[in-house]
């Protein structure tokens, strides 16, 4: 897309970003999104530094197009080994999304490496702070999003225009967007592009277990819920008996000590990677009801662009007197 700030900055064809994803944001998936003209990202949450590097090398081998990585700060007891790996491969990593914690000390580190910083925020205040601190792009994530999100509980529809009015750097909208119509809606609100997570789990390249992918394509609009609000943010997952049990257990006792064993990555991995949906939970956003196929991520980027172009044509028919 000509004249699109995200496409120009990231050197990509379409402003469609694959969100960083714990466990399921693997190298082949990132490469497929980038091969389709979007921007793939390799998640570092749930990975050892060694495994993170392996996935980066897979992406390097599978695409010649730009891709990025995700660093959820508070997910790692020590971020240094991950930062060292990013520095080692800085020539290949175009951008990094920074989430789950205070990004301000990390922005100069990646700037110094020549890597574009994309800061996840879910309030205007944090977006303004990130811009002031030298962040290059804001990823503004609404409450509809799959996975862990800030505690402000603002919807994408309400949040995007309030952030785009207050910052000058480009803004990517995330949360509940699963198709081209959603993309155009977000861009009408002022976003320069979109980030999607859940849509890219239901793809052939994603390492998520088949049970998880099937669950996504069977899920409807009201099949997600907030697993817990007790850790300062919210975690959106697919409803299940296991999830109800956790919610009931944590209702009266939600200290970090009691909550952590239930929401730990190990439980997520059990379901998302091993397919045990009876003893684990899986992340999904509220746009899950729109996901009806498991296809190549490369193809999905193409589908989203076709849907977006159709949506623009429909809008062209509307003219207010």
Ligand X SMILES: Cc1cc2nc3c(=O)[nH]c(=O)nc-3n(C[C@H](O)[C@H](O)[C@H](O)COP(=O)(O)O)c2cc1C
Distance of CA 7 to the CA centre of its chain: 18
Q: Are 166 and 112 in contact (CB under 8 A)?
A: no
Per CB under 6 A, which of residues 149..178 are in contact with ligand X? Answer: 174-177
- Name the DSSP letter for residue 192: S
Considering beta carbons, is residue 251 or 292 the nearer one to ligand X? Answer: 292
Helices 210-218 and 265-272: angle between axes, nearest 10 degrees:
80
Q: Is residue 193 close enough to count as binding ligand X by CB under 6 A?
A: no
Site membership for ligand X, residue 146 (CB under 6 A): yes
Least distance (Å) between residue 289 CB and ligand X: 11
CB of 50 to ligand X, least distance (A): 18
The dihedral sign for the CA sequence 316, 317, 320, 321: positive
45 binding ligand X? (CB under 6 A):
yes
Contact segment (CB under 6 A) with ligand X among 102-110, 278-286, 304-312, 313-321 equals 278-286
Q: Exactly one of 43, 170, 275, 280 binds ligand X (CB under 6 A); which one?
A: 43
C-alpha atoms less than 13 angstroms from C-alpha of 316 in its C-beta half-sphere: 6
Could you tell me which of 117, 75, 93, 66 has the C-alpha nearest to residue 84? 93
Q: Which residue has the tokens 């714990």?
A: 22
**Pattern 68-87, binding to ligand X, x per CB under 6 A?**
--x-x---------------
In the region spanning residues 281 to 310, those forming contacts with ligand X, defined by CB under 6 A, are 283-285, 287
First to last CA, the chain: 30
Binding residues for ligand X, per CB under 6 A? 19-22, 24, 43, 45, 70, 72, 97, 99, 120, 141, 144-147, 174-177, 195-199, 201, 283-285, 287
């Amino acid at each position: 897309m000509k004249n699109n700030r995200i496409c120009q900055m990231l050197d990509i064809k379409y402003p469609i970003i694959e969100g960083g994803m714990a466990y399921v944001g693997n190298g082949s998936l990132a490469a497929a999104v980038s091969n389709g003209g979007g921007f793939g990202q390799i998640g570092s949450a749930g990975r050892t530094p060694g495994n993170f590097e392996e996935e980066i090398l897979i992406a390097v081998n599978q695409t010649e197009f730009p891709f990025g990585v995700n660093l959820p700060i508070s997910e790692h007891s020590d971020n240094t080994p991950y930062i060292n790996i990013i520095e080692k491969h800085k020539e290949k990593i175009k951008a990094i999304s920074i989430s789950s914690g205070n990004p301000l000390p990390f922005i100069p580190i990646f700037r110094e490496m020549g890597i574009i910083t994309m800061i996840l925020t879910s309030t205007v205040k944090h977006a303004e702070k990130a811009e002031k601190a030298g962040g290059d792009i804001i990823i503004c994530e609404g409450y509809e999003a799959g996975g862990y999100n800030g505690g402000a509980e603002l919807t994408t529809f309400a949040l995007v225009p309030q952030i785009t009015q207050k910052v000058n750097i480009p803004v990517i909208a995330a949360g509940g967007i699963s198709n081209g119509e959603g993309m155009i809606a977000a861009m009408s609100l002022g976003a320069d592009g979109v980030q999607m997570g859940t849509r890219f789990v239901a793809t052939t390249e994603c390492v998520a277990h088949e049970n998880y992918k099937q669950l996504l394509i069977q899920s409807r609009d009201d099949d997600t819920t907030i697993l817990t609000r007790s850790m300062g943010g919210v975690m959106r997952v697919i409803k299940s008996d296991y999830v109800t049990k956790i919610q009931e257990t944590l209702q009266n006792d939600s200290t970090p000590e009691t909550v952590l064993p239930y929401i730990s990555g190990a439980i997520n991995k059990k379901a998302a990677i091993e397919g045990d949906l009876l003893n684990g939970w899986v992340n999904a956003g509220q746009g899950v009801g729109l996901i009806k196929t498991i296809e190549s991520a490369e193809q999905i980027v193409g589908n989203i662009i076709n849907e977006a172009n159709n949506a623009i044509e429909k809008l062209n028919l509307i003219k207010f007197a």
